[in-house]
Amino acid sequence: MFKSLVRLEHIMEMSIEKQLTHRSIRKYKDRPVEEEKVQIYLEVMNRTACRGMQGYSVIRITDEKLKEAIGEAIQQEYIKKLPELLIFIIDLYRFKELTDRLAPGKVQHYYFDIAFVAIGDMYLAAQNMMNAIETDGLGGLFLSTVADNLPEMKKLLNLPELTLPLLGLGFGYPDENPELSPRLPIEVKLSENTYEPISQKLDALKIYDEELISYYQKLGREHIQTYSQMVAKRITGEAPLYAYLLNELEAMGVDLCIND
């Protein structure tokens, strides 16, 4: 019993340490991930806290040609060298199939809350899986860019109606150790009992901007911006492809429930 408790405490310490030092890994050793490990990570993913309907599915990419085609579709060359690649999709088609069987002929409604909860469950599951991967000594990265070319991704994955690929997760044995990227200080994000605007936290923001500039300089970036400049540019700029996801949801049959 004592040995089990000591081992559990050690695992918890490792898990916290890995989460505190998370970094995206793009270079991997030419070494496959053991199938037993992959299945454990998938079990961890599957046990993630979620709402009852669990409206997401995962496609594991084992076809190397398909992996290369996905990399070309989203313009990420390194994807073809990922030892493991999973694509997370919003899956309301499963609900349609079940409803067709149990309530044939009845009108079906895919309200926005169903899709919204499914998206949340999907991201939680992916993060939980990443935690397990990193705790086990491997590395990974998230790929939000799978949503940058939805028509091609749907075609490549042979997706039916009422599905939408939104996130990729690649992982394997790391062959690089990139510097930890800065994050907004906790005091900027955390308020107590009531909302505290950024205007009350400018000293902490200044420190973060200095850390961010130093980080980008080490990476050799030519055009360096502070956090505030980056936010202002994004908010005043043109909408990226990812911004039109509501249109995608509506096109696939989701009722956005917007009042006239």
Mean pLDDT of successive 10-residue stretches along the chain, which has 260 residues: 54 76 90 97 92 94 96 92 97 97 95 95 96 94 93 96 97 93 93 95 93 89 88 91 88 90
Angle between helices 112-135 and 35-46 (to 10 degrees): 140
In sequence order, the β-bridge partners of residue 85 are 170
- Say what the pLDDT of residue 184 is: 93
Q: Are 28 and 175 in contact (CB under 8 A)?
A: yes
Helix (H, G, I), strand (E, B) or coil at 69: helix
Contacts of 56 (CB under 8 A, 6+ apart): 88, 89, 90, 91, 118, 119, 121, 122, 125
Two tokens at 88? Answer: 């997370």
Helix (H, G, I), strand (E, B) or coil at 173: coil
| C-alpha to C-alpha distance for 141 and 135, rounded to whole angstroms | 14
Two tokens at 63? Answer: 């076809």
| C-alpha to C-alpha distance for 64 and 86, rounded to whole angstroms | 13
